[in-house]
Amino acid sequence: MRPAFLGGAALGAVLMYFLDPQSGRRRRARTRDRMVHAKRVLDDARDVTARDTVQRAYGVLATARRLFQRNEPVDDEALVGRVRAALGRVVSHPHAVEVSASGGHVTLAGPILAHETRALLSCVRSVPGVRGVHDELEVHDNAEHISSLQGGVPREGDRFELMQENWSPAARLVTGALGATLLLGATRARGGVCVLLGVAGSGLLARAITNLDLASIVGVGSRGITVQKTVNVSAPVEEVFKFWSDYRNFPRFMAHVRDVRQIADNRSQWVVAGPAGVPVQWTAEVTRVAPNELIEWRCADNSDVCHDGVVHFEDNGRGGTRVNVELSYVPPGGAFGHAVAKLFGADPKSEMDSDLLRMKTMIETGRPPHDAARPQPRES
């Protein structure tokens, strides 16, 4: 009786949501558009996964073939290509390393950071076809005054696929299939075995679908969800940047921002209407400002929702401004909670799309949108 009641209540809530006289039509259209978009994404993912799986299968065959052809000579040009392909896994500045080969003997030259030297030499020696390594590297303790060693991303070397942060499409396919198999087995098992198979299968399937670590999936990790939106505004960069720099403007074009108060030069207190109108608060701290270029922020540790982001402003070449917003947040309930909210248009990406269109209209026309949290400007 209880499951039937809960199912009926859920069905009633869904029907009320989509058949609402005022917003139902828009919600149905938005859901239809999301389904079309989801189909397109699934088609693209299917093609990418198929290509990746076939290419990795060829790679496995080539690796197996090399096991039986270790002493076979390798063309010097091909050997240089193999070595260069391996550099990016162990050094942060592979472009700075010069590679040459002669008769299977590889020569390495150019600047390199000291802590990456041993890993580089070990990696090159393990490349199939390399008979010897001649070290002519310029070792530096740090990157100061070395232009080719500026920037770069630290590398951790070869890691097992499933130990990496981002999985390949083929790995996600195999893991998802294994998770689905475990879930199927859980339906036939009993007791503790059923629970164990169900938890393991659900975790593997969720990890494969979202490509997020399990901590982020359940909402306790720091990686969270990242959303991005770009909009063009028919106004000069200086005007748009000035508009964004004034916190008082946000309730005038955002639908859920109830109040913004500046509490310090770079800190502000935000009150936002959350689910069911429940107020959600956070303290935002501006960490970097480049006039007419960007505004970067993060939330304080005591905030209800952990997030950070950056807004970039640039001339679009037509006298207007291209505004690019990137937001990362850890949603309540993790990726699952984000998926549920997204289904009903209550996730930050949906709200960001609507808010930025209101912002565009407000700057271009000078009139605050009627559906903002506070359509009229504050009195002095």
pLDDT at residue 71 in the model? 62
Helix (H, G, I), strand (E, B) or coil at 163: helix
Reported as a pLDDT band with limits 50, 70 and 90, residue 344 is: very low
**0.85 surpassed by pTM:** no
d(CA 177, CA 348): 31
> Among 18-22, 67-71, 103-107, 339-343, which is the least confidently predicted range?
339-343
**What was the pLDDT predicted at 12?**
78
User: CB neighbours (10 Å) of residue 288?
Assistant: 12
Which of 308, 314, 319, 321 is CA-nearest to residue 359?
321
pLDDT of residue 193: 86
Does residue 179 or residue 211 have the better pLDDT? 179
Say what the pLDDT of residue 380 is.
35
Burial bucket for residue 302 (CB in 10 Å: 0-12, 13-18, 19+): exposed
DSSP 377: P
- Quick one: pLDDT band at residue 217, thresholds 50, 70, 90? low
What average pLDDT does this structure show over 328-334?
62
- 288 token code pair: 């970097």
Is the pLDDT reported for residue 339 higher than 70?
no
Q: Output the six-digit token pair for 327.
A: 């937001």
Least confident of 62-66, 167-171, 285-289, 296-300: 62-66
Average pLDDT over residues 130-139: 90
- Assess whether pLDDT exceeds 90 at residue 107: yes
The tokens describing 144, both together, are: 């100061």
Whole-number mean pLDDT of the chain?
80
pLDDT grade for 332, boundaries at 50, 70 and 90: low
DSSP E strands, the chain: 98-102, 105-113, 132-140, 225-233, 257-262, 267-273, 279-290, 294-299, 307-315, 321-329
Q: Report the range of poorest mean pLDDT among 195-199, 232-236, 365-369.
A: 365-369
pLDDT bin (cut points 50, 70, 90) of residue 25 is confident
pLDDT tens digits for 71-81? 667 788 888 99
Under 8 Å between Cβ of 140 and 146 = yes
Angle at 149 between CA 148 and CA 154, to 5 degrees: 135
pLDDT at 341: 47
Q: Mind listing the pLDDT tens digit for each residue in 353-378?
A: 888 888 898 899 888 776 655 655 44
DSSP assignment letter at 277: G
110-127 confidence digits (pLDDT tens): 999 988 888 889 889 888
Q: Which residues pair with 296 in a beta bridge?
A: 288, 310
